Amino acid sequence: MNKAQELHDLGQSLWLDNITREILDNGTLRRYIDEFAITGLTSNPTIFDEAIGNSAAYDEDIRDKAKKGKSGEALFLELALADLRRAADLFRPVFDATDGVDGWVSMEVSPLLANDTAGSIDAAARIHAQGERPNLYVKIPGTPEGVPAIEESI
């Protein structure tokens, strides 16, 4: 038994703080779940910015979406949610087996909304709806304006 599995067996949930299309395409995320007892994944705009900017894996998708008029935040969100849906599907058996204790995948609202209660509420609802997965949750910054957005979104 590896150390990660030992931690899991002691009740520790291990989450991956990263996502790239490559780890989805080449089976690395599946292997992390199976071999290292990874039980969740967190992401944020910075993680996706690095993933998209440092990889050719997104280029064709970007070109296709740009031809359809997508740009800026809308394009970014579509790319991110496509990857997060795939990750959520991989974690779904964990989510189901633990009755929702583990198996979560997360996406954060834009940091530009950290001081915008209404904007954070709207963005969280939109991301959750477009995510289309019960084990995808949306993070909202814990700023003075974010706290009411969190309360409203729950």
The residues assigned a catalytic role are 139
For 138, phi then psi, to 5°, come to -115, 125
Chain-centre distance of CA 16, in angstroms?
Answer: 10
Token pair, residue 32, equals 């992390």
Distances (CA, A) of 36 to 5, 8, 108, 144: 6, 9, 25, 37
Single-letter code of the amino acid located at 32 = Y
